[in-house]
Amino acid sequence: MGLKDLIFNKGGIGPSLSRRETIERLNPLIRQHMELNLYYNFVIDHITDPTVAASLSDLQKVARADVGKMMETVFSCGGVAFNGVELEPVDYTLDGDDDAMLFALRDHEESFSETIEADLELDHQIRTKAILNLVLTNSQKRLNVLKTLTKRRRRPQSTA
């Protein structure tokens, strides 16, 4: 948190993204989060360990709420939020055994977390920044769970 945030933490003193810019920034993040959720759903449905599936399923409750918070922010800016209607679950599958799926899911979560971190560098309005910080915190919690789940597993060798 910068000095400006500490001193002027009410009302968003200084330049910040416009409503239009906020909508333009959030809709791709909403899409990426929905795509990530589809990968989680695939792993939950296809992993052989029911304990891992239950753990991932519990994480998805918060992830879906995070998507809703970002969508609500778009609506409050007067925009139309990306709704995911065009996303087909069959397009979000992961190949391989349990180890391969968990490492692939971890890679997708890391990518999402990095995207949110980069977006937080912009001058978002304070409420948008707060929501993105929450989304980042929850992504990092999921990432920590995935790191724990993959700690004793072997990452499959890339065939590329």
**pTM score, two decimals?**
0.88
4 C-beta neighbours (distance < 10 Å), count? 12
What residue numbers bound the domain in which 110 lies?
Answer: 17-150
What's the mean per-residue pLDDT of the chain? 91
In a domain, 123, yes or no: yes
The predicted structure's pLDDT at residue 4: 52
Residue with tokens 């700690």, as numbered in its chain: 151
pLDDT tier at 9, thresholds 50, 70, 90: very low
**Each residue's pLDDT tens digit, 87-113:** 999 999 999 999 999 999 999 999 999
* Maximum CA extent, the chain: 52
In a domain, 8, yes or no: no
Q: Structural domain tally of the chain?
A: 1
41 C-beta neighbours (distance < 10 Å), count? 15
Q: Which own/partner pairs from 20-25 qualify as long-range (CB within 8 Å, at least 24 positions apart)? A: 20/77, 20/79, 22/73, 22/74, 22/77, 22/79, 22/124, 22/125, 22/128, 23/74, 23/77, 23/78, 23/79, 25/119, 25/122, 25/124
In a domain, 11, yes or no: no
CATH of the domain at 85: 1.20.1260.10
21 C-beta neighbours (distance < 10 Å), count? 15
In a domain, 12, yes or no: no
**Residue 10: is its pLDDT beyond 50?**
no
The predicted structure's pLDDT at residue 2: 55
pLDDT tier at 58, thresholds 50, 70, 90: very high
In a domain, 24, yes or no: yes
